[in-house]
Amino acid sequence: MTESLRPMNLGGILDRAVQVFRARYIVFFGLASIAGIAGLVFQLAIAYPKSAPSGGSKNGGLVFASYAAAFVSWVAIVVLGVIVRAANCYAASKVNLGEAVIVREAFGLFTSKFWRLIGISILQGIFAGWPFIIAGFLAVIIGAAVAPFGGAAFVVATVYILAAIPCLALYARYALAYPATAIEGLTAGSAIDRSVKLSEGGRWRIFWGIVVVSVPSWGLVFGVSGLLEALKNGNALLANNPLLVAGINGVVGLIAALVFTPYSQIVLTLLYYDQRMRREGFDVERMMQAAGLEESPALQGDGGANLNTGTGESPA
């Protein structure tokens, strides 16, 4: 899959992301399923009743197994999730540049870089998530104030939803860190700095790129979850079978992970390249490389001092 590199508006980037996804959908589905299946197991594990119906301990072994499965799957989500994010960015880069890539190659490149990727996630969370801390204090105060009148849950949810807006705006500064480390091999701190500098002049486009991709995923997952909760009141099958509800939610979450997770990371990767083209002329650099006009790394490094005979003397 080859196409000339050029800066695009957000609509063009979203369309291009669909083309990239379709070109190697098996690779992206394969990568997304690694963490997605762990998410499904987690949903099922936390839904298992944690005590015997009679108050006894006859199913204590199964209860312990559910706790253990929940913990193991949670760890798997954290570990595999960051690796898959970087692997998707790497795969999207390769496909966008018309190069071949397979699941084992993309995933294997980042298994040894887990702590670097965790570091990026932590830094992104700190720098972009601090409004939620303020929202937490406000939610407690406002919730306590309105509790006697009812509707505290609605007020608290509204506070957190409003807090998500500045969080997303701040995240646009740091969102390109994963593509930066996946493609350029940067450390966590360097990737964050690279994202801040590279995103200048394009943060609103990055912001809307994140929102446009995230809203359908959130709508699907939370919409189905809310619908199931509403149906519990009049449906004994759902009300008395937490595993069934968890299974439905888990399958929906897996579908969202298979589709929207890789697509969002493809969009971020294309936004990364778009900013490189706008700020650094990456498209011109690639055209020069293709035409064989770019100076070799050896000459760039020593200014051509050793071009003549290796003696360090400039040619006459």
CA distances, 253 to each of 8, 239, 286 (Å): 31, 20, 39
And the tokens for 232? 């519990």
Q: Is the pLDDT of residue 207 over 50?
A: yes
Each residue of 242-267: pLDDT tens digit? 888 888 888 998 999 999 999 999 99
DSSP code for 5: -
> Mean of the per-residue pLDDT values for the chain?
83
Each residue of 44-100: pLDDT tens digit? 888 766 544 444 445 677 777 878 888 888 888 989 999 999 999 999 999 999 999
Calculate Rg over the CA atoms of the chain.
24
Each residue of 118-145: pLDDT tens digit? 999 999 999 998 887 887 777 777 777 7
pLDDT, residue 289, reads 76
* Dihedral pair phi/psi, residue 69, rounded to 5°: -65, -40
Answer for the pair 245, 47: CB distance below 8 angstroms, yes or no: yes
* Res. 232 pLDDT band, cuts 50 70 90: confident
Q: Which residue has the higher pLDDT, 239 or 222?
A: 222
Domain range list for the chain: 10-282
Collapsed DSSP state (helix, strand, coil) of residue 309:
coil
Each residue of 288-312: pLDDT tens digit? 877 777 654 433 434 333 433 333 4
